Amino acid sequence: MLAVAAAVLAVVVAVGAGTTGAGVSLSMCAITGTVTRTWDPRVAGGLAAMAALALVLASTLAARNVLYQSVTPFPGLGIQLATAHGLHLPNGKQVVFSVQRRFIPLDDIETVVVHEGITRWSVRYYLGIVRTRGRPVVVAYDTVKPRLDVLVHVYHAVREALWDEYDDGRC
C-alpha cells in the first residue's frame, strides 16, 4: 500500500507541475486518483483574442462579398438601387451584414438605357440610368453582371413602372 501511495505521489509531482503544451495543466489527486484539468488564463485569453480576430476578419471579408443587387422602380418617385453584402453559408442560406441603398428621384432621371461596355476580350451589357445632373450615368448591377436577356426584362419593367411604356405584354 505504501508503494502505491508513493507511485501516486510521484505521478502527482510529474504531471501536476507540468502542462500538456496546450495551456492545460493536469493534476492528480493522491488519495482518489482523479485527474483534474485547469486552463492557464494566459492561454485562454490568447485563444479568445484569436477567436475575436478571426471573427473580425470573417466579417471584413463578408462585407466585401455581394449577395445581391436590386433595382426597384417607384412609380412617380424614382428608382432605388440596393446592394446587400454578407455571407453565403454552406447550407444555402445567406447572412446579410449590410445593405447600401441609393435613391435617384424621378426629376433627376433623364432616361434608362441598356448599353454595352467593351473590355479587353469581352462585351458586357449593363443597365444605365442617365441623370440630368450630378454623375451623368449610374450603372445598376455593377457587381453581379446579369445576362442581356435579364437586363432587357428589367429595362422594360422599369420603363413601364416609371413612364407607362411597354404595356404590350412583353415584360
Question: How does pLDDT run across 65-74, given as a tens digit for each residue?
Answer: 899 999 999 9
Is residue 140 domain-shared with residue 97, that is, in the same domain? yes
Amino acid 1 reads M
Does the predicted TM-score (pTM) go above 0.75?
no
User: Which of these, 138, 122, 140, lies nearest to 68 by C-alpha position?
Assistant: 140
* 94 and 26 belong to one structural domain: no
* Residue 31 in this model has a pLDDT that exceeds 90: no
Residue 82, in any domain of the structure: yes
Residue 51 maps to a domain: no
Does 28 fall in a domain? yes
Predicted local distance difference test score (pLDDT) of residue 23: 55
Domain containing residue 1: 1-39
pLDDT digits (tens, 9 = 90+) for 72-124: 999 999 999 999 999 888 898 988 999 999 999 999 999 999 999 888 888 99
Q: What is the mean pLDDT of residues 22-32?
A: 57
In this predicted structure, the answer to whether residue 165 has a pLDDT above a threshold of 50 is yes
Write the DSSP symbol of residue 169.
S
Domains held by the chain: number: 2
Dihedral (Cα; 117, 118, 123, 126), 10-degree rounding: -10
Q: Tell me how far apart the alpha carbons of residues 28 and 37 are, in angstroms, rounded to a whole number.
A: 9
* Among the listed residues 126, 131, 92, 94, the one whose alpha carbon sits nearest the alpha carbon of residue 111: 131
Domain co-membership, 67 together with 35: no
Residue 57 belongs to a domain: no
